[in-house]
């Protein structure tokens, strides 16, 4: 008998730390052309500039919000029921899907009839949807027919983040121009722009018709750079409960998609719980589960078992599949002399299968059959990089680039079927070789979105690989990578826990945002400017709350200056009151204004006087705290 997850025994509640709104934040919804298009955003309220510094009114800052209903105090959440089906009506009204009587996957049917699994089963036993015969329900298919779906309109509003308002308030004026390396970032994202990018294959909208709970999002290099967080148990650790908790925790800090990489024994049930409770797209690597089904013996894998696994997961609602179809028989010998061989789990499974049978990969051979399944549910491809380098020594070698060329070939086949497709990339790559990866991917894969794991720019820092990879991720994001797959501090060492998930997500939010800034994404700098202004004006609470991780910022500050009065003090414990450069330059400004001169001459003219004034005001501040 399987153990009952603790939250199933009484009321199905989410961990309370993962559901309260972030400090000073309010969930807002922007309505589209119809009332059921309600696009969530987070508004961070800030205080006004202190009177002695001008008393200016500071507008709230609107940021992209991935946290779903979990951060909305008005939403009622019951993990057993799952989230509301936001897209159900949109999917139904297109008139091209049918509700099946039961599951068409043999594996699912067997699972459903296993009484031992009852306690783990998700409460809502919904019937799966599938495209009616002869229909293709992919967003790319609609886009190519010129149809703007509600999903596309939702995304346009979401990506804009109320830019128009910010523009009217003059907030866009203070941004450095970017260097975009050929990306075209319009001033205003329109639904038509979204449609066109999807039709062209330059962006994807992962949105399985069996995952109506999602708040649609887009992955493409002319949009905000996205990040993915991996969760998943292994045979050794972790329960369903922990996995759902990692999901809500990951999206709280900004994960745009979550991949469930579970390999343990209850992967089917774990996935049900995750999907039904996820407002973000969920990705998986189906070959992992297929391997479980054959007892972990790669040689025993067959196309039939793999096919049934795809259908099983498509009917559950997985939004994108990592499929390592680029690992071909003739590529395998190219890895023989590598320092780290094949490091991809999926890649090594397929390489082993190819060698054992001395046959071409069944994923490659059946690629068109796979496309048929993908378009019946709108599952997007994430073409796996099974031959990615696992060390900087192996970066950009013949095996890696040979596979990339095959992925380009497969992209074209996917597009022939109007199936959405992104391409996975490395891995471990030193900085000077990163740009070549991006350029080659755009060329081989006709600008299909790139989705990379890091890359890690050095191999010498186990325990810190969120940083080694975050550096590479920022670079490749700037060059045009559309989504960055996070790496946690536990990479190469063990399974990440909740803290590691948060550290990984925050690290990747930094990389993605840095890339948006460098590319010159309109409005990207608004939050930086607001935070810097708060910092300069010693609005400590605002500085914490505008940051990616207010809790840590506040905790670090309070370690040395815990008193409430320190939250308005014009210094922190780093330099103390006498040496605070921000305070000094504020005083230089005041002096200049009083004496009617500019800041440079103020420094020359008033140096002596300034120092006297500074000592005096310094002692005054001591009195206050």
Q: Which of 378, 394, 424, 465 binds ligand IRN (CB under 6 A)?
A: 424
Helical ranges in 417-464 per DSSP H: 434-444
40/386 with CB nearer ligand IRN: 386
Least distance CB 477 / ligand IRN (angstroms): 13
Interface with ligand IRN, residue 403, by CB under 6 A? no
Run of H or E residues at 168:
helix 163-168
Least distance CB 285 / ligand IRN (angstroms): 5
Q: Say whether 542 counts as a known binding-site residue.
A: no
Interface with ligand IRN, residue 347, by CB under 6 A? yes
136/289 with CB nearer ligand IRN: 289
Question: Residue 404: CA atoms inside 13 Å, Cβ hemisphere, count?
Answer: 28
Q: Which of 136, 230, 277, 441 binds ligand IRN (CB under 6 A)?
A: 230
Q: Say whether 575 counts as a known binding-site residue.
A: yes
What is the DSSP annotation of 531-576? HHHHHHTT-HHHHHHHSS-HHHHHHHHHHH--SGGGGT-S--TTTT
Cβ count within 10 A of residue 36: 13
φ/ψ of residue 425, rounded to 5: -135, 180
Least distance CB 509 / ligand IRN (angstroms): 17
Q: Which of 206, 286, 346, 449 binds ligand IRN (CB under 6 A)?
A: 346
Measuring CA to CA, which residue among 160, 24, 19, 191 is closest to residue 545?
A: 24
Strand 25-31 versus strand 38-44 pairing type? antiparallel
Least distance CB 572 / ligand IRN (angstroms): 39
Q: Say whether 230 counts as a known binding-site residue.
A: yes
Interface with ligand IRN, residue 451, by CB under 6 A? yes
Site string for ligand IRN, 544-583 (x = CB under 6 A): ----------------------------------------
Task: Report CA 306 to chain centroid distance, whole Å.
Answer: 27
Site string for ligand IRN, 49-88 (x = CB under 6 A): ----------------------------------------
Say if CB 375 and CB 346 are below 8 A apart: no
Interface with ligand IRN, residue 259, by CB under 6 A? yes
Q: What is the chain's length?
A: 625
Interface with ligand IRN, residue 260, by CB under 6 A? no
- What gap in Å lies between CA 513 and CA 224, rounded to an integer? 8
112/355 with CB nearer ligand IRN: 355
Interface with ligand IRN, residue 285, by CB under 6 A? yes
Run of H or E residues at 42:
strand 38-44
Interface with ligand IRN, residue 390, by CB under 6 A? no
Q: What is the DSSP letter of 498?
A: H
Say if CB 54 and CB 61 are below 8 A apart: no
Q: Which residues pair with 230 in a beta bridge?
A: 259
Q: Say whether 428 counts as a known binding-site residue.
A: yes
Contacts of 209 (CB under 8 A, 6+ apart): 91, 97, 129, 130, 131, 137, 377, 378
Interface with ligand IRN, residue 382, by CB under 6 A? yes
Question: Residue 37: CA atoms inside 13 Å, Cβ hemisphere, count?
Answer: 17
Interface with ligand IRN, residue 428, by CB under 6 A? no
**Binding positions for ligand IRN, 180-199, rule CB under 6 A:** none
- What gap in Å lies between CA 522 and CA 162, rounded to an integer? 11
How many residues sit in the footprint of ligand IRN (CB under 6 A)?
19
- What gap in Å lies between CA 439 and CA 582, rounded to an integer? 42
Applying CB under 6 A, which part among 448-456, 501-509, 561-569, 601-609 lies near ligand IRN?
A: 448-456
Interface with ligand IRN, residue 383, by CB under 6 A? no
Q: Say whether 485 counts as a known binding-site residue.
A: no
Interface with ligand IRN, residue 456, by CB under 6 A? no
Interface with ligand IRN, residue 465, by CB under 6 A? no
Interface with ligand IRN, residue 606, by CB under 6 A? no
Run of H or E residues at 453:
strand 450-453
Q: Which of 248, 322, 543, 545 binds ligand IRN (CB under 6 A)?
A: 322
**Where in 286-401 does DSSP place strands (E)?**
320-323, 380-383
Peptide bond connecting 455 to the previous residue in cis, omega within 30 degrees of 0: yes
Q: Which residues pair with 226 in a beta bridge?
A: 483
- What gap in Å lies between CA 42 and CA 456, rounded to an integer? 31
Least distance CB 73 / ligand IRN (angstroms): 32
Q: Which of 202, 345, 521, 570 binds ligand IRN (CB under 6 A)?
A: 345
**From the annotation, which residues make up the binding site for substrate?**
230, 259, 288, 324, 344-346, 385-388, 424, 451
- Chain residues binding ligand IRN by CB under 6 A are 230, 259, 261, 285, 322, 344-347, 382, 384-386, 424-425, 451-453, 485
């Amino acid at each position: 008998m399987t153990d009952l997850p603790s939250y199933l025994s009484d009321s199905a509640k989410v961990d309370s730390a993962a559901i309260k709104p972030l400090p000073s934040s309010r969930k807002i919804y922007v309505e589209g052309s119809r009332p059921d298009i309600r696009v969530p955003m987070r508004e961070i309220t800030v205080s006004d500039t202190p009177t002695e510094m001008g008393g200016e009114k500071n507008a709230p800052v609107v940021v992209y919000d991935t946290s779903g209903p979990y951060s909305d105090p008005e939403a009622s959440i019951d993990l057993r029921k799952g989230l509301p089906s936001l897209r159900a009506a949109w999917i139904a009204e297109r008139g091209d899907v049918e509700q099946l009587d039961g599951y068409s996957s043999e594996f699912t049917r067997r699972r459903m009839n296993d009484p031992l699994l009852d306690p783990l089963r998700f409460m809502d036993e919904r019937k799966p949807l599938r495209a009616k015969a002869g229909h293709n329900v992919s967003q790319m298919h609609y886009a190519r027919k010129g149809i703007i779906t509600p999903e596309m309109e939702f995304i346009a509003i979401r990506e804009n983040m109320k830019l128009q308002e910010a523009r009217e308030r003059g907030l866009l004026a203070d941004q450095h121009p970017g260097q975009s390396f050929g990306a075209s970032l319009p001033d205003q994202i329109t639904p038509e722009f979204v449609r066109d990018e999807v039709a062209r294959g330059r962006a994807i909208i992962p949105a399985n018709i069996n995952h109506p709970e999602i708040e649609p999002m887009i992955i493409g290099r002319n949009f905000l750079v996205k990040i993915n967080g991996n969760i998943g148990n292994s045979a050794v650790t972790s329960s369903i409960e922990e996995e759902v908790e990692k999901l809500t925790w990951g999206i709280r800090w900004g994960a745009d998609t979550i991949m469930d990489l579970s390999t343990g024994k209850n992967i089917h049930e774990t996935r049900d719980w995750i999907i039904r409770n996820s407002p973000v797209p969920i990705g998986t690597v189906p070959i992992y589960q297929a391997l479980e089904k054959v007892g972990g013996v790669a040689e025993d894998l067959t196309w039939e078992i793999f096919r049934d696994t795809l259908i099983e997961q498509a009917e559950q609602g997985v939004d994108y599949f990592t499929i390592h179809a680029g690992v071909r028989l003739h590529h395998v010998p190219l890895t023989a002399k590598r320092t780290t061989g094949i490091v991809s789990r999926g890649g090594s499974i397929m390489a082993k299968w190819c060698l054992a049978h001395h046959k071409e990969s069944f994923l490659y051979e059946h690629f068109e059959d796979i496309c048929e399944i993908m378009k019946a549910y709108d599952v997007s491809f994430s073409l796996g990089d099974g031959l990615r380098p696992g060390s900087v020594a192996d970066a950009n070698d013949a095996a890696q680039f040979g596979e990339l060329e095959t992925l380009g070939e497969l992209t074209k086949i996917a597009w022939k079927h109007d199936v959405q497709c992104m391409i996975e990339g490395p891995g471990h790559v030193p900085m000077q070789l990163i740009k070549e990866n991006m350029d080659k991917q755009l060329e081989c894969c006709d600008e299909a979105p790139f989705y990379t794991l890091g890359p890690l720019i050095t191999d010498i820092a186990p325990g810190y690989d969120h940083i080694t990879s975050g550096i590479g991720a920022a670079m490749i994001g700037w060059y045009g990578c559309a989504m960055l797959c996070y790496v946690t501090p536990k990479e190469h060492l063990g399974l990440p826990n909740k803290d590691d998930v948060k550290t990984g997500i925050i690290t990747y939010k930094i990389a993605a945002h840095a890339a948006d800034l460098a590319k010159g994404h309109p409005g990207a700098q608004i939050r930086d400017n607001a935070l810097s202004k708060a910092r300069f004006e010693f609005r400590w609470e605002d500085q914490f709350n505008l940051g990616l991780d207010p809790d840590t910022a506040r905790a670090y500050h309070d370690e040395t200056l815990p008193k409430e009065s320190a939250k308005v003090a014009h210094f922190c414990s780093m330099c103390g009151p006498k040496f605070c450069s921000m305070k000094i330059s504020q005083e230089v400004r005041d002096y200049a204004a009083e004496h009617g001169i500019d800041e440079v001459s103020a420094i020359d003219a008033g140096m002596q006087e300034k120092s006297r004034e500074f000592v005096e005001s310094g002692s005054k501040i001591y009195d206050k705290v």
